Copies of this chain bind each other. A is one copy, B any other.
Amino acid sequence: MSILVVGSVAFDSVTTPFGEADDVLGGSASYFSTSASFFTDVQLVAVIGEDFPQQHIDFLTSRNIDLSGLQTSPGKTFRWKGRYEYDLNEAHTLDTQLNVFESFKPQLPENFRDAEYVFLANIDPELQLDVLQQVRNPKFIACDTMNFWIDGKREELIRTLGKVDILIINEAEVRQLAEEPNLIKAAQIVRGFGPRTLVVKRGEYGILMFSEGSTFAAPAYPLDEVFDPTGAGDTFAGGFVGYLAATRNLDEANMRKATVFGTVMASFTVEKFSLDRLKELDHRDISDRYRKIKLLTDFADLDG
Q: Which chain A residues have a beta carbon within 8 Å of chain B's beta carbons?
A: 17, 86-87, 181-185, 188, 202, 204-206, 208, 214-219, 222-226, 253, 256-257, 259-260, 287, 290-291, 294-302
Contacts and interface: CB of A to CB of B under 8 A. Distances in A.
- What does DSSP make chain A's interface, helix, strand, loop or mixed? mixed
Closest 4 CB pairs of A and B: A217-B219, A86-B181, A256-B299, A184-B224
A299 B184 contact: no
Which one of A202, A215, A225, A290 has the greatest number of beta carbons of chain B within 10 Å? A215
Nearest to A291: B302
Contact of A299 (B86, B182, B205, B253): B253
Given A202-B205, A256-B300, A300-B257, A223 B184 contact: yes
Contact of A222 (B205, B217, B224, B287): B217
Contacts of A222: 183-184, 208, 215, 217
Contact of A185 (B214, B216, B224): B224
A267 to B, nearest CB: 12
Nearest to A175: B86
Contacts of A181: 17, 86-87
Nearest to A287: B302
Contact of A225 (B182, B218, B256, B300): B182
23 contacts: A86-B181, A182-B224, A182-B225, A182-B226, A184-B222, A184-B223, A206-B219, A208-B219, A208-B222, A215-B222, A216-B296, A216-B297, A216-B299, A217-B219, A217-B297, A218-B297, A218-B299, A253-B300, A257-B299, A287-B302, A291-B302, A294-B299, A294-B302
